[in-house]
Amino acid sequence: MFLEGKSAIVTGGAMGIGLETAKLLLKEGCTVTIWDINETELNNAKELLKNYSSKIFTHICDVTDKEKVYELVKVAMQEMGKVDILVNNAGYVKGGGFLDCTDNDWERTVEVNLNSILYTTRAVLPRMYDNNSGYIINLSSASSFLGVADISVYAATKWAVQGLTESLRFEAWDRKKFGVKFCSVHPYYVATGMFSGAKLNLLGSILVPLVKSHAVIARAIVYGAIKKNKTIVRRPITLKLVNIFRGILPDYLFQKMMVMFGVSTSMKTWVGRK
């Protein structure tokens, strides 16, 4: 996709992957709207992004509030004239065993990581269908390929995001709307930010090293996904080994291999964003 003159919404855009993605989109000549629930960080992001382009709009948004989402999509249409790209980046994680987390922890995880994507997609997709043009990028996770201890509900939402993205793609094809694209992006643990501290053991880290920065994932979104019209992007690319091993090994051997690589203990050192 040629990005000059396109318009994009990035959810969770005040920090981390969302902020780095907004920077790249602005550099490519896009007009960008970022949403975030954190007003302080949103204001900081606005000042920073003005250094890249004046074509930036910011709005406080809790993406779990569907009425607010629908309202702000209309605002984005007015401010930018259109929405060509939607990056569903907003995310939430609560580490801990399934029985150690509260009902509120589970519900918040599902609301942010899955339900919000339904709201944003419902709001922008009709116009994209009308124009037979658009790109929706959904942030999934490496945990959409295999279960991960101590983030069980988070992993469940990311499996759902991958399934949703693929299903929406097939729906678009059935409607002959081949110009409307969908991509799921699957990052492994990023060394800083929301998953700070989490990692595989030494053996696992050799095969799947930590992602060094949020900018790596932003580049995957803009240059690996949008500009190349990819349907799925993994970082690091060695995550493909998970699907290969699952496909060729008996399941009990695959499970033992994942334990050997430290998947079952990878969240024990998690500290998260400070």
Q: What is the arithmetic mean of pLDDT over 222-246?
A: 96
Residues 35-91: pLDDT tens digits? Answer: 999 999 999 999 999 999 999 999 999 999 999 999 999 999 999 999 999 999 999
Told to judge if 119 belongs to the known catalytic residues of this protein, a careful annotator would answer: no
CB 22 within 8 A of CB 50: no
pTM above 0.85, yes or no: yes
Residues 115-160: pLDDT tens digits? Answer: 999 999 999 999 999 999 999 999 999 999 999 999 999 999 999 9
Residue 1 — pLDDT band, cuts 50, 70, 90? confident
Tokens of 159: 């499996």
Which residue in the list 119, 135, 154, 188 is annotated as catalytic? Answer: 154
Task: Name residues whose C-beta falls within 8 Å of residue 77's C-beta, 6 or more positions apart in sequence.
Answer: 83, 127
Is residue 252 over pLDDT 80? yes
Distance separating alpha carbons of residues 196 and 274, to the nearest angstrom: 9
> Which helix (DSSP H) or strand (DSSP E) does residue 253 occupy?
helix 251-260
Pairing of the two strands 85-88 and 180-187: unpaired
Output the CA–CA distances (angstroms, integers) from residue 69 to 16, 60, 126, 222, in the order listed: 21, 10, 15, 23
Tokens of 31: 């007009």
The letter for the amino acid at 171 is E
Task: Name residues whose C-beta falls within 8 Å of residue 230's C-beta, 6 or more positions apart in sequence.
Answer: 183, 224
CB 97 within 8 A of CB 154: no
Bridge partners (DSSP) of residue 9 are 33, 86
Q: Which structural domains are found in the chain, ordered by start?
A: 7-195+208-246 (3.40.50.720)
Is residue 274 over pLDDT 80? no
- For tokens 């990056």, the residue is 87
Residue 113 — pLDDT band, cuts 50, 70, 90? very high
Tokens of 35: 């949403």
Distance separating alpha carbons of residues 57 and 22, to the nearest angstrom: 11
Distance separating alpha carbons of residues 267 and 272, to the nearest angstrom: 10
Going by C-alpha positions, the residue among 166, 66, 144, 72 that lies closest to residue 111 is: 66
CB 12 within 8 A of CB 36: yes
> Which helix (DSSP H) or strand (DSSP E) does residue 18 occupy?
helix 16-27
Give the dihedral sign, CA 92/98/100/103: positive
